[in-house]
Every structure is written in structure tokens, then in C-alpha cells.
Amino acid sequence: MSSGVFVVGLGAITAIGNNVAGCLAALEARRPGMGDMHWLESVHRGEIPVAEVKMDNEELAAACALSGTGSGRTALLSLIAAREALEDATGSLKDAGIDRSSLRTGFISANTVGGMDKSERFFADFLSDPRKGRLRDVVQHECGSVTEWVAEQLGIRDYMTTISTACSSSANSIFFAARMIRHGLLDMAVAGGTDALTKFTLNGFNTLMILDRGYCKPFDENRNGLNLGEGAGYLVLVSERVANSMRAAGHGGKYYCRLSGYCNANDAYHQTASSPEGTGSYLAMKGALEGSGLQPADIGYINLHGTGTQNNDMAEGIAIRRLFDPHFPAMSSTKSFTGHTLGASGGVEAVFSALSVKHGLVYPNLRWQTAMVGLPFIPERAFRKNEPIRHVMSNSFGFGGNCSSLIFSKD
Amino acid sequence: MEFYIQAASAISPKNSLSREPDYTSLIDPKLIRRMSRIIRMSVAAALSCLQEAGVSNPDAIVTGTAYGCLADTGIFLSKVVEQKEEMLPPTAFIQSTHNTVGGQIALMLHCHGYNNTFVHRGHSFESALLDAMLILREKEDSKVLVGGLDEITDISQAILSRFGLYRYAVAGEGAAFFLLTGRKTASTCARLQGLDTFYKPKDDAEIEDRIHSFLASLMLRPEDIDLVIMGNNGDIAGDKIYGQLASSPFNGSAMIRYKDFCGEYPTSGSFALWLAVDAIREGRAERVLIYNHYLGIYHSLMLVSR
């Protein structure tokens, strides 16, 4: 098994930007993406803020150079970000004289809603009469259909699969892609995830009473819940052999970082709530550190799961205290910008984490005012660059007790 | 590396005669009441598999499901539409996520280990199985619980019928779980020698090539296979390849059309694997090849032997 898996391409679309550069500019300018519901049609408009990608489906399709809006929003978001990541990587590979078509390439994606945005429309007619509803509105209902459609658009056929583990979905797809590369089954993979805002998830989270009616305040004592967001985020991962060829051709500097550690653990406490002691989060972070051979003090920045709910932030905070005390790295939740993008969040935040390692960036945790009782650390409030960061941890925890942590390293 | 199946358990129309079995010997009746049918079927198959293997807490739980928890998804979606997003109860939403079964099993076993759920159409179970095999390659002494599950609901039946899926094929469903290890023990019931999956082959010749190279990679020839379990579902165009393979190169092997027992569903490969293990356990076969394709798009090969 070869040891290294390297990040050579990034792509993202969220409420704060339609590409990686746009997202980064918003992070630096402290410009959050949440606001009144504009594109999603729901009775909760005006009452529950959301972090929407600022385009309707026709504009998203146009951005994919497709005509019409045949595809659902989850797939369109996925294609935009995955294509950006692949083009980013292809440029670097080409510079190094590597022909992409010679690499066994996989598309390992994740989502939780599939084509639910269109299934909702179908259902309104179908419920009145089971012979009604346009069938083309449910062809992407399955999560896997979204991946399949995007893989076809990208021309990736060697391997594709889809993971759905709620809010940790795309951390697990990055994790799985890295393992396939390490086992020699793939040379390169586009890995991450996507999710669109839907009435289904908005109302689902609303019934759990964990949606903030204002803008979320992760890791603040007076936090009131999360804001739902949407988007997609992907990394292009390559094997050590491909990375070495890039280095040998003098283009080693083109890669962003190495994926040095990962771990998936289960909280096994409750279907939707985290255990008070954050067992799953603790085990995921600890396992990722062990896998990378690092000590807690080596981590320079943690991109927190930090949803802004009472339950998550306390469980995650306690797990961090237990593992890192007394060496607390800089920490922040970029969900204070993007909202919680569910199945996309692990991918989006992996993109932010890779940029953090590459450029020494620390992102601000917006709207933070009051330290949480019982936690001996507070999140970062300023955007900082050129920090001497060597290792970044990215946390993704979710329903079903599914907890995953990834570590990105320089060198 | 080879993989050892320590136990296999399936809930399917074949062994439950289209009725759900009594789960009270496996699951607390109080919990059963709160579970949807897919969760009950899957948790029962998983627990019975662990019981058979004598494993109380596996190191990893990996599931594959194309549709996830359809009944709860249907309930919540219908309520969102009918009640115009007002006064919705949370239960169906909570149980609608695709990882509900994996999470429930972990919760019942207090299992903090690796937990993953694959949802890739006709390769959902095969992806889960690949993950399980990678875990064993990474840590040979792990015990991995891996399963495939999908359910039919009135809604899915109505919609998939409109797509023409059941014009020839019979709608199927089921849950099948396996306990895999990287080491042989006295209670090993079968050996999983290989798994291969491929997507949209361009023609039948490519399928035959894949099968030959799959067997060759395991140092086997078609005549070494004494039982072939195939995925015929009644669709004439889709079944053509199975007929060709049965006449050559597998004319010397016994054949089972496994969907006659479990119907057509995207994770039916898990039932086929259970059937292969069963044939080996009962001494009816020494070396079994499973070949299935889902809608001609997702193809999979598994080799199971004594």
C-alpha cells in the first residue's frame, strides 16, 4: 500500500461564492451567505433564513454550459464544483506532462437529498392521482443518480460510487477515495459531495427545532441553532506515484497538500443527537491523529463541524477539550458563512482546509460574542494569512452517530 | 488476499414467504414498534448474522442501499405536501436518512467503530462489500458486518411501474448481512475470493472479457465453476447475456436465476451472495460465480468458494 494521497485540485460552490476564488474572497471580506429565502419556495420564507447559492437552476445549468434545467439542483451544484476541481488538477497535470486519460480515475461523491427538489414537485401532483406527476422529475430521486449524471458529464467511468452518512457524507467520500488510491485501485479521484436546499430538509430540521431564526452563532454560549445552506465541494486526489511525477517534472509546488489522516467512528448514542461527552467526535479526531502520526499540538487549525446547535457545539467542544487540552489550535466554523450544507459540508470544508494548509489561512468564526461555559477556548474572529500552519483538521459529524475527521498536511 | 464469510443472514421473500418473520427473539418488541419495515428487516438480518458468527461487537458496519428508507421518506414528503409544511412530526424525517440502518445497528450494539453507507444504485451493496474488503486488507483481524438492503413501498411500486421497470421483472426487496474476516476459522462458512464491478459495458463481448479476466485474476477457468448464480429478471433484452453465458462458457455449470426468489431490486446482489453461501454451506457447490447486472448499467461479479 503506497502511503501518500495528495490534493491537486479544488472546486467549490456555496452561498458565499460560485467558485473557490469567490468563496475565499468572501471569507476574507467576512461576507456571509445567509439571508431571506429567495430561490427555495417554502411557507417558511421570511421566517427561517437560509444560505442559498445565488443562482436559479437555469443559471446553474448555463454555468455548466447546458441548456434547459433538465437536471436537479443537487446535480448541477455538483457538476460545477467537480468540474472546477478537475480543471484545476488537469492544468497542473498537463504542466507536468501527465495525460489525464492515462490515469485510472474515480468519481466518489456524496449527497443526502438526491433529486428531492424535483421529487417534491412530482409529489404534489402524484398525491392527487398516482398516474400524475412528470416522471422526469423523479429520475434523479436516488442519491446515486446524481453521481451517475455528473460522472457522465465529467467523462469519468473507471469507478464511481456515492456515500450518504448524513452531515459527514462527503468527508467519508474523500476518505474512501483516498483509501482506494492507497490500495492501488485508482490513480486519481474527484471526491467530495453536494446537496441542494429542499423543502424536505428545511422542514425536517425545523421539526427538530434546531434552526436559528437569526444568523447562526457557532460556539457562542447564546447560540440558537443552525442555518441550512447548499452547495458542493470537491478535491482531486492523486496517488504518490502521480504526485512524484509532478515533482520530477518540476511541478511539485502545484499540489495543495497531503491528506495525511482520516478516521470514521460512530457515537452510538442517539439517532440525531450527539452524546454529551462527544464520544464519536473524540474517537474520530483521535483516530485521524493516530493515522497521521501526529500529536494534538501539531494541528495548527481546526475547521470545526460547528453547526451552531446547543448539542453539537457542546459535544464537539468537550471532545476537543479532552483531546487537545492544553494545546488548543486556532479553530472556527465556516458554517457561520456557508450555513450547514449537509452532505456537501465535508467537501466544502475540505476545500477550505486545503487552502488553509497551502496558504497558512485561518478563517473567522462570524458573530461570535460569548465564550461557552465549560470550554477553555474560543473560536477565531479574524481572517489571518501567512500563519505557520503545517497541519489542519476538518471535522464532520452527523445523524446516525456518523463522525469523521480528516487531516491535511504540508509536504 | 482472500476474505472469509463467517455468517450470512437474509430476510427476503424466499425465506419469509412474503410475510415478515417474528423478530421478537432478536429485537426488543418496544424497539420494533418504532422501526419502519426496512429498519426491522435489516436490523433483524444483521443481528441474526452476528449471532450466527458469535460476534457481539464488529469492528466496522458497512451498508449499501439504493433507495434508503423509502417508507419514512414517503411519509414525510407526503406530509410536507399535504399539510403545506405545517405541524409536521419529526419521527419520519429522523428515520428517513440513508444511514439510519447503519446508525441503528451501531446504536443497538454500542459499536463505536467504522460506519459507512453507500447509496450508488445497482452498485450500492457492491461498494459496501469493496469497503469491507479494504478494511480487511488494512487490518486483517477485523470483523466487518456488511449488508445490502432495499424495500418496496406502495409509492415506489407505483412510480417504478410507471417507468416500466416491472413490465417483465417482479418487484423485489430484502436485507442480507454478512460477517467478514480476513482470517479463516473453524466456523468459516465460505470464502469470498473476488469482487469486480463495471459500468455500462459497450457490448456483450466486453462483458465476456470482464468475466474471463475476473476468473483469470483468480487463477480460474470457466470449467472450474460448478454453480453460476445469475440475475435474469424476465426482461428479454436484459436477459439475453445470461442465456449466452449459460450456453458458453458455462454450459458445464449448474445455474440459478436468483431473482426468481427475491425479485428485482438494486441491492439484490446481497441476496445472491447469501444464496451462494447457502449453496456452499449445504454442500451443493464448491465454487460459485455470481453475475448480475442492474438495468444493463451496473454489472457485478463475485466469486465464492468453499
What does the domain layout of chain B look like in residue ranges? 3-181, 190-305
- Report yes or no: B138 at the A interface, CB cutoff 8 Å: yes
For residue B204, pLDDT over 80 is answered with: yes
Encoded amino acid at B269, one letter = G
Which of B69, B82, B100, B115 to probe the A interface (max A CBs under 10 A)? B115
Domain of A49: which CATH number?
3.40.47.10
Query: Which residue among A157, A162, A283 places its CB closest to the CB of B120?
Result: A162
Q: Which of A232, A254, A276 is the last residue of a domain?
A: A254
Q: Label residue A271 by pLDDT band (50, 70, 90).
A: confident
CB B141 within 8 A of CB B6: no
Top-confidence residue, A4 or A160: A160
pLDDT at residue number B182: 96
For residue B303, pLDDT over 90 is answered with: yes
Other CB atoms within 10 A of residue A389 CB: 22
Please give the full DSSP string across B31-53, using - where no structure is assigned: HHHHS-HHHHHHHHHHHHHHHHH
Domain span holding position A96? 5-254
- What are the strands, taking DSSP E only, across A268-329? 301-303
Q: Label residue B34 by pLDDT band (50, 70, 90).
A: confident
- Is A340 an active-site residue? yes
Cα gap B2→B133, rounded to integer Å: 9
pLDDT at residue number A253: 61
For residue B16, pLDDT over 90 is answered with: no
Top-confidence residue, A94 or A35: A35
Q: Mean pLDDT, to the nearest integer, of A301-320?
A: 97
Lookup: cell for B249: 462458457
pLDDT at residue number B17: 42
Nearest CA in chain B to A45: B85
Q: Mean pLDDT, to the nearest integer, of A121-144?
A: 92
pLDDT at residue number B19: 57
pLDDT at residue number A133: 93
Q: Are residues A276 and A313 in the same domain?
A: yes
Reported as a single tens digit per residue, the pLDDT across B98-140 is 999 999 999 999 999 999 999 999 999 999 999 999 999 999 9
What CATH number is given for B190-305 in this structure? Answer: 3.40.47.10
The overall average pLDDT reported for chain B is 94
Q: Label residue A173 by pLDDT band (50, 70, 90).
A: very high
Task: Write the CA distances from A96 to A4, A86, A126, A154, A241, integer angstroms.
Answer: 18, 15, 53, 21, 13
ipTM given for this complex: 0.97
Q: Are residues A245 and A344 in the same domain?
A: no
Cα gap B247→A17, rounded to integer Å: 58
For residue A4, pLDDT over 90 is answered with: no
Q: Are residues A131 and A237 in the same domain?
A: yes
For residue A143, pLDDT over 50 is answered with: yes
Q: Are residues A282 and A243 in the same domain?
A: no
Task: For chain A, give the secondary structure using H, E and C.
Answer: CCCCEEEEEEEEEECCECCHHHHHHHHHCCCCCCECCCCCCCCCCCCCCEECCCCCHHHHHHHCCCCCCCCCHHHHHHHHHHHHHHHHHHHHHHHCCCCHHHCCEEEEEECCCCCHHHHHHHHHHHCCCCCCCCHHHCCCCCHHHHHHHHHHHHCCCCEEEEECCHHHHHHHHHHHHHHHHHCCCCCEEEEEEEECCCHHHHHHHHHCCCECCCCCCCCCCCCCCECEECEEEEEEEEEHHHHHHHHHCCCHHHCCEEEEEEEEEECCCCCCCCCCCCHHHHHHHHHHHHHHCCCHHHCCEEECCCCCCHHHHHHHHHHHHHHHCCCCCEEECCHHHHCECHHHHHHHHHHHHHHHHHHCCECCCCCCCCCCCCCCCCCCCCCECCCCCCEEEEEEECHHHEEEEEEEECC
CB A304 within 8 A of CB A152: no
Q: With pLDDT > 70 as the criterion, what percentage of chain A qualifies?
A: 98
Q: Mean pLDDT, to the nearest integer, of A49-69?
A: 90
Lookup: cell for A22: 469567490
pLDDT at residue number A204: 97
Q: Which of A193, A223, A254 is the last residue of a domain?
A: A254
Q: Label residue A116 by pLDDT band (50, 70, 90).
A: very high
Q: Label residue A377 by pLDDT band (50, 70, 90).
A: very high
Q: Which of A254, A270, A303 is the last residue of a domain?
A: A254
pLDDT at residue number A274: 93
Q: Are residues A90 and A171 in the same domain?
A: yes
Q: Are residues A183 and A90 in the same domain?
A: yes
- Is A167 an active-site residue? yes
Q: With pLDDT > 90 as the criterion, what percentage of chain A qualifies?
A: 89
In this structure, what are the phi and psi dihedrals at residue A206, rounded to the nearest 5 degrees?
-65, -40
The overall average pLDDT reported for chain A is 95
Q: Are residues A264 and A242 in the same domain?
A: no
For residue B233, pLDDT over 90 is answered with: yes
Nearest CA in chain B to A400: B103
Q: Mean pLDDT, to the nearest integer, of A21-26?
A: 98
Residue with cell 441548456: A67
For residue A252, pLDDT over 80 is answered with: no
- Domain B3-181 and domain B190-305 have a common topology: yes
Least confident of B48-57, B162-171, B184-193: B162-171
Q: Are residues A246 and A395 in the same domain?
A: no
pLDDT at residue number A68: 65
Q: Are residues A284 and A195 in the same domain?
A: no
Cβ contacts of A270 on chain B, cutoff 8 Å: 107
CB A378 within 8 A of CB A287: no
Q: Are residues A71 and A89 in the same domain?
A: yes
Q: Which residues pair with A331 in a beta bridge?
A: A302
Largest CA-CA distance found in chain B, in angstroms, rounded: 63
pLDDT at residue number A250: 77
Query: Which residue among B89, B114, B199 places its CB closest to the CB of A160?
Result: B199
Cα gap A175→A180, rounded to integer Å: 9
pLDDT at residue number A251: 66
Q: Collapsing DSSP states into helix, strand and coil, what is residue A2?
A: coil
Q: Mean pLDDT, to the nearest integer, of B199-209?
A: 97
Chain-chain contact of B118 with A203 (C-beta, under 8 angstroms): no
pLDDT at residue number A130: 92
For residue A312, pLDDT over 60 is answered with: yes
> Residue B135: which H helix or E strand, with range?
helix B124-138
Q: Are residues A246 and A279 in the same domain?
A: no
Catalytic residue among A167, A216, A257, A263: A167
pLDDT at residue number A255: 85
Q: Are residues A150 and A234 in the same domain?
A: yes
Q: Mean pLDDT, to the nearest integer, of A328-347?
A: 98
Cα gap B122→A170, rounded to integer Å: 20
- Report yes or no: A391 at the B interface, CB cutoff 8 Å: no
Reported as a single tens digit per residue, the pLDDT across A204-221 is 999 999 999 999 999 999
pLDDT at residue number B190: 98
Q: Mean pLDDT, to the nearest integer, of A259-284?
A: 95
How many structural domains compose chain A?
Answer: 2
Cβ contacts of B106 on chain A, cutoff 8 Å: 266, 268, 400-401
Q: Collapsing DSSP states into helix, strand and coil, what is residue A94?
A: helix
Lookup: cell for B203: 457490448
Lookup: cell for A66: 447546458
What CATH number is given for B3-181 in this structure? Answer: 3.40.47.10
Nearest to A78, CA basis, from A129, A27, A11, A20: A11
